[in-house]
C-alpha cells in the first residue's frame, strides 16, 4: 500500500501499546500498526502464568477520526499457549473489547454524539457506520425506575409511539430532573406504574403539579392520599386567555375587512397583561375595547383573573376566585362558560397555586425537546427506545 505521509506523535492516542508505524494512504485514511508490549499473561482457564507465544494474528479495528480523517488500527495480536492446560488464549489490550471491530473510544464517541439533539441516522453518517449499528449499540442503554421525590409534576405529550397517541412525562420541578416517560396516559397505565412503588414512598409525596386533567387527578387521589394537587398556572391562565380571544374572534367577524385585519394583527395587545403594556399599546387597547362592550367585559375578566395569584393568603385567593366566577357568570359571555365549569371543579387545585409557586414550566420545556427529537427523527415506533432516548438526551 502506498503512503504519502507519516505521523509520529501517537504516544497519547495509543497509550499502553507499541506503535510500529502510522501513515496516511493516498485516499486520505490513516493506518496505525500497533502491538502490545511483550509480557507474561495469566491463563484464563487454569490461572498459571505463561509467556509462550503460539502465533500472531492481525486485527483491523475502526477508530475515531484524527485531524478530520478516518483511521484504522492494525493490531498484531499474540496468542499465548499454556503448557499446563494446553489451551490457547489471546492477549488483553486496552483498545478494543473482545469480539469487537471498533475501539472502546469509538463507542464512547458514538454515545457522546447521541447526547446531542440529532437522529440515529445523523450520528451514523457522522461516525461512518450503519444506522442499525448505532441503534444496536444504543439499545444497550436502559434506565431503571427512578425514586419518587416529595414533589413531582406530570404532563402529557403527543408521542404517537407504541400504538398510543399520547405519552406521559414525569419530572421533578424542584431539582429539574426528568423521572420517567410512561407509554400511555390512561388511568390503568398510570396506576400500574405508581403501584410499583411501595406504599411508604407514595405516602411521602407531598405535592403533584399537573394540568387540569381528570385522569391525572383520579390517579393522584387513588395512590397519593397525602399529596396536594396543584394546577399548573400556565394552563389555568391560558384557558382564560383563550376564552377572551374567542370573544375577539367572534366580534371581529362583524367588522369590515380592513378593521377585521387590524383587530387580528393587534390581538397580542389583548392577550398581554395590562401592566406590561407600553403607552402606545395602551392607546391601541382603548381603541379596540371601545369597538365592543362585550369585548371590554371579557378583557376586564381576564385582567381581574390575574389578581387571584397576587393574593398573599389562600383565603384571600379563594375569595377572589369565588367573586371572579360570579362576575363571569353574570357577564353572560358564552365563551367563558367552559372556564366557569372547569374552575369550579378545580377550585382547590387553582387556589393551591398561591401557596405552591411550583409550575410545569420545566416539564413543558422537556416536552418541547421531545417534539424536536420527534421531528428530526421522523418519529419512533419502539416505545422503549423512544423512552431511553429521551432520558439519555435530557439527563
Size of the chain in residues: 395
Instruction: For residue 41, give the H/E element and its range.
Output: strand 41-42
Say what the pLDDT of residue 162 is: 86
Neighbours of 74 (CB within 10 A): 15
Q: Which regions in the chain score pLDDT beneath 70?
A: 1-12
Read off φ and ψ for residue 49, nearest 5 degrees.
-90, 145
Q: Which candidate, 230, 232, 242, 239, places its Cα nearest to that of 363? A: 232
Instruction: Spell out the residues 6+ positions from residue 185 whose beta carbon is closer than 8 angstroms to its own.
Output: 156, 166, 167, 168, 213, 215, 216
85: which 3 cell numbers?
492446560
Say what the pLDDT of residue 163 is: 87
291: which 3 cell numbers?
369597538
Say what the pLDDT of residue 12 is: 65
Say what the pLDDT of residue 152 is: 96
Q: Count how many Cα atoms sit within 13 Å of the Cα of residue 58 in the half-sphere of its side chain.
A: 8
Say what the pLDDT of residue 11 is: 55
Instruction: For residue 340, give the H/E element and its range.
Output: helix 337-345
Say what the pLDDT of residue 324 is: 95
Q: 30-79: per-residue pLDDT in tens? A: 999 999 898 888 998 998 999 899 999 999 999 998 888 899 999 999 99
Whole-angstrom distance, CA of residue 138 vs CA of residue 161:
18
Instruction: Give percent helix, percent strand, percent coil of the chain, each to the nearest 5.
Output: 45, 20, 30
% residues pLDDT > 90 (the chain): 78
pTM score: 0.84
Amino acid at each position: 500500500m502506498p503512503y504519502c505521509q507519516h505521523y509520529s506523535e501517537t504516544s497519547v492516542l495509543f497509550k499502553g501499546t507499541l506503535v510500529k508505524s502510522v501513515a496516511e494512504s493516498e485516499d486520505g485514511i490513516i493506518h496505525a500498526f500497533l502491538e502490545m508490549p511483550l509480557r507474561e499473561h495469566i491463563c484464563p482457564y487454569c490461572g498459571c502464568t505463561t509467556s509462550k507465544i503460539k502465533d500472531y494474528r492481525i486485527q483491523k479495528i475502526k477508530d475515531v477520526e484524527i485531524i478530520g480523517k478516518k483511521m484504522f488500527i492494525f493490531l498484531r495480536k499474540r496468542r499465548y499457549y499454556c503448557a499446563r492446560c494446553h489451551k490457547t488464549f489471546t492477549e488483553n489490550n486496552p483498545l478494543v473489547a473482545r469480539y469487537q471491530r471498533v475501539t472502546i473510544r469509538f463507542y464512547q464517541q458514538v454515545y457522546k454524539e447521541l447526547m446531542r439533539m440529532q437522529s440515529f441516522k445523523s450520528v451514523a453518517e457522522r461516525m461512518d457506520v450503519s444506522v442499525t449499528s448505532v441503534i444496536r449499540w444504543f439499545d444497550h442503554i436502559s434506565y431503571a425506575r427512578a425514586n419518587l421525590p416529595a414533589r413531582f409534576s406530570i404532563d402529557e405529550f403527543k408521542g404517537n409511539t407504541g400504538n398510543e397517541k399520547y405519552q406521559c412525562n414525569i419530572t421533578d420541578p424542584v431539582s429539574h430532573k426528568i423521572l420517567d416517560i410512561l407509554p400511555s396516559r390512561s388511568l390503568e397505565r398510570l396506576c400500574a406504574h405508581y403501584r410499583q412503588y411501595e406504599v411508604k414512598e407514595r405516602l411521602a409525596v407531598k405535592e403533584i403539579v399537573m394540568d387540569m386533567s381528570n385522569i391525572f387527578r383520579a390517579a393522584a387521589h387513588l395512590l397519593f392520599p397525602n399529596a396536594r394537587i396543584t394546577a399548573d398556572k400556565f394552563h389555568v391562565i391560558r384557558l382564560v386567555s383563550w376564552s377572551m380571544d374567542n370573544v375577539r374572534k367572534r366580534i371581529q367577524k362583524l367588522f369590515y375587512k380592513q378593521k377585521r385585519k387590524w383587530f387580528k394583527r393587534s390581538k397580542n395587545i389583548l392577550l398581554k397583561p395590562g401592566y406590561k403594556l407600553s403607552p402606545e399599546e395602551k392607546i391601541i387597547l382603548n381603541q379596540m375595547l371601545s369597538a365592543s362592550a362585550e369585548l371590554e367585559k371579557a378583557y376586564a375578566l381576564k385582567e381581574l383573573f390575574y389578581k387571584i395569584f397576587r393574593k398573599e393568603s389562600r383565603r384571600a385567593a379563594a375569595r377572589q376566585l369565588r367573586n371572579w366566577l360570579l362576575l363571569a357568570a353574570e357577564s353572560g359571555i358564552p365563551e367563558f362558560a367552559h372556564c366557569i365549569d372547569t374552575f369550579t371543579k378545580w377550585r382547590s387545585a387553582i387556589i393551591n397555586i398561591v401557596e405552591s409557586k411550583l409550575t410545569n414550566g420545566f416539564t413543558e420545556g422537556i416536552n418541547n425537546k421531545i417534539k424536536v427529537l420527534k421531528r428530526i427523527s421522523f418519529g419512533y415506533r419502539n416505545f422503549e427506545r423512544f423512552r431511553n432516548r429521551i432520558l439519555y438526551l435530557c439527563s
